[in-house]
Amino acid sequence: MNQVELGSWSGRDIRTGRGPSDPFTELDLSALSLRELNARLQALKVPTNETFWRVQNPNGAHAVAVGIDAPIDVEVAGHVGYFCGGMNKCARIVIHGNAGQGVGENMMSGLIHVKGDASQSAGATGHGGLLLIDGNAGARCGISMKGVDIVVKGDIGHLSAFMAQTGRLVAFGDAGDALGDSIYEAHIYVRGKVEGLGADCIEKELRDEHRAELFALIEQAGEAHKIDVSEFRRYGSARKLYNFNIDNAGAY
């Protein structure tokens, strides 16, 4: 559990470099409808002068700041519901609270930084960019990920990286049962204990190129030199379930 002080916003975000003294455009969800809010953000085209936005009173609303296609920064001042930042392209979104299920679902690029916990299916089917979660992520984190990088500073729930195709999933804490079930080529790094591995997922040797890859991800999470990459273990596909083989029928 990562305790987040709601609405507190002090100092500059480690990733966006934005701070509360920078001029921003405010979108207040107690006054605007969700459609109006998303329409404003989705209408932004490159180049724009309105590069810094703040969403007030999200109060657990679903689909906040989805479908953005511009290199802007968006701060969300509180907890959000489902699918926050879904389909994100280029934008850097910081959530000062917890996120409901499917945060960063199908994100293409950019950054989504959750300061609290994320519910299930965080980063589902994500194609690119970085999803950074300061707290824990629930079940099915990185399900069917297709190139997104996901760094979770806490634990990840069961069935994480289920059918993950490519991209990297890093957990500083523990992983739940059936990690990497039916995984393809995504890379998984877990520092804590793994409750169990899913079908066709095995532990693999952590070689130098993996240490370098992991270091770069930890650096992006703002934790370089605070955490030793050699404390992590690497997991990936045994590549036995790629094609149907009658001898493997019991594993399907």
Partner 1 sequence: MCGIAGLFIKSSRLRPELGALLSDMTSALCSRGPDSAGFALYTTSEPGRVKLTLTSVNGRRDFQTLGEILSRSLGAPILTTHRYTHSVFTVPEEEVAQCRAWIVENAQDIRVLSEGSNLEIYKEVGYPDDVARKFDIRSISGTHGIAHTRMATESAVTTTGAHPFSTGPDQCLVHNGSLSNHASLRRELRQDGIVPETENDTEVAAGYITRELRRGRALGDALKSSVNDLDGFFTFVVGTKNGFGVLRDPIACKPAVMAETDDYVAFASEYRSLTGLPGVANARVFEPKPATPYFWEH
Give phi and psi for 170, each to the nearest 5.
Answer: -120, 130
- Quick one: tokens of 102? 């499917």
Is residue 3 part of the contact set for partner 1 (CB under 8 A)?
Answer: yes
Is residue 88 part of the contact set for partner 1 (CB under 8 A)?
Answer: no
Is residue 1 part of the contact set for partner 1 (CB under 8 A)?
Answer: yes
Is residue 86 part of the contact set for partner 1 (CB under 8 A)?
Answer: no
Residue of 6, 31, 39, 224 interacting with partner 1 (CB under 8 A): 6
Is residue 100 part of the contact set for partner 1 (CB under 8 A)?
Answer: yes
Candidates 3-11, 183-191, 200-208, 232-240; binding stretch for partner 1 (CB under 8 A): 3-11
> Percent helix, strand and coil across the chain, each rounded to 5?
10, 25, 65
Is residue 147 part of the contact set for partner 1 (CB under 8 A)?
Answer: no
**134 Cβ contact partners less than 8 Å away, ≥ 6 residues apart:** 2, 4, 113, 114, 115, 116, 153, 154
Give phi and psi for 223, each to the nearest 5.
Answer: -120, 15
> In this structure, are strands 25-28 and 187-190 parallel, antiparallel, or unpaired?
unpaired
Number of residues that bind partner 1 (CB under 8 A): 25
Residue of 117, 149, 181, 213 interacting with partner 1 (CB under 8 A): 117
- Reported as half-sphere exposure (CB side, CA atoms, 13 A), residue 118 has a value of 37
- Quick one: tokens of 175? 């992983």
Candidates 59-67, 160-168, 209-217, 219-227; binding stretch for partner 1 (CB under 8 A): 59-67
Query: CA-CA distance, 168 to 42, in Å (whole number)?
Result: 28
Give phi and psi for 245, each to the nearest 5.
Answer: -135, 125
Provide, rounded to whole angstroms, the least separation between the CB of residue 37 and partner 1: 15
Is residue 138 part of the contact set for partner 1 (CB under 8 A)?
Answer: yes
Is residue 19 part of the contact set for partner 1 (CB under 8 A)?
Answer: no
Is residue 156 part of the contact set for partner 1 (CB under 8 A)?
Answer: no
Residues near partner 1 (CB under 8 A) are 1, 3, 5-7, 59-62, 78-82, 98, 100-101, 116-117, 119-120, 138-139, 157-158
